Amino acid sequence: MTLRAVRPVVLSLAFPLLAALAPQALAKSGKITGKVDASPAKYLKETVVYVTSGGSPGTPKTATMNQKHMKFIPHVLAITVGDTVKFENGDTVAHNVFTPDVAPYNLGTFKPGESRTHTFDKPGAYSQLCSLHPEMLAFIYVAPTPYHAVVKPDGTFEIANVPPGDYQVAIWNSHLKAEPQSVTVSAGQAAQVSFSLSR
Ligand SMILES: [Cu+2]
């Protein structure tokens, strides 16, 4: 078949598809921004803000957590339920990854340059530990929706691409707590929400 013969078929298939996708692609989303303060402040960096339900689940993604200079990098990783994390060993010594939390796993011992993957099917907070180096600690927070953010060092956060609607916004911290809050997200607007974390 020549290209000339193929092209009309491709076009006639492509146009209805584009027409079907366009309303979603063009629908304006909003965002959720705000600020978190924590008492004591030393735990602020171990904070994730997330939408509890609603929106669309999205397609599963793969995030990366490295082990380098005897640390997990990043220290806090937020992902969506169904996502996979690739654990890399970027060090010159062997490492291990395990968690005792939610749905425990142990990925064994892996050498420099090797990696392991794990898919997270249950929401919640998973501490990341290394059986070879007890001082190593990180957190993976598996959020129930794709709308989540790790707070920045100054306590601000931004959750982008949230479809317009009413949501509950919850917060996770390694040691502290704050009540969830309601927000209304409007197209093209930033809904503001603030949290004060305490024991
Ligand atoms: Cu280690």
CA of 115 to the centre of ligand 1 (A): 13
CA of 105 to the centre of ligand 1 (A): 15
What is the 8-class DSSP label of residue 58? -
Segment-wise mean pLDDT, segments of 10 residues, the chain, 199 residues: 44 47 64 98 98 90 98 98 98 98 98 98 98 98 98 98 97 98 97 98
CA of 83 to the centre of ligand 1 (A): 23
CA of 71 to the centre of ligand 1 (A): 8
In 3D space, the residue among 111, 80, 116, 106 whose CA is nearest the CA of residue 95 turns out to be 111
Handedness of CA 22, 192, 145, 48 (dihedral sign): positive
Q: What is the pLDDT, as a whole number, of residue 58?
A: 84
In 3D space, the residue among 95, 87, 68, 195 whose CA is nearest the CA of residue 140 turns out to be 87
Q: What is the pLDDT, as a whole number, of residue 182?
A: 97
Residue by residue, DSSP assigns 130-178 as -TT-TT-EEEEEEESSS-EEEPPTTSEEEEEEEPSEEEEEEEEESS-B-
CA of 141 to the centre of ligand 1 (A): 20
CA of 12 to the centre of ligand 1 (A): 56
Q: What is the pLDDT, as a whole number, of residue 56?
A: 82
All domains in the chain, ordered by first residue: 43-197 (2.60.40.420)
CA of 120 to the centre of ligand 1 (A): 21
The answer to whether residues 47 and 175 touch, using CB atoms and an 8 Å cutoff, is no
Q: Which residues pair with 169 in a beta bridge?
A: 51, 181
* Helices within the chain (DSSP H only): 3-26
CA of 99 to the centre of ligand 1 (A): 13
Q: What is the pLDDT, as a whole number, of residue 3?
A: 44
CA of 69 to the centre of ligand 1 (A): 9
* Omega before 153 within 30 of 0, i.e. cis: no
For 135, half-sphere exposure in the C-beta direction (CA atoms, 13 angstrom radius) is 3
The answer to whether residues 177 and 157 touch, using CB atoms and an 8 Å cutoff, is no
Q: Which residues surround ligand 1, an ion (CB under 5 A)?
A: 95, 130, 132-133
CA of 97 to the centre of ligand 1 (A): 8
CA of 33 to the centre of ligand 1 (A): 35
Q: What is the pLDDT, as a whole number, of residue 152?
A: 98
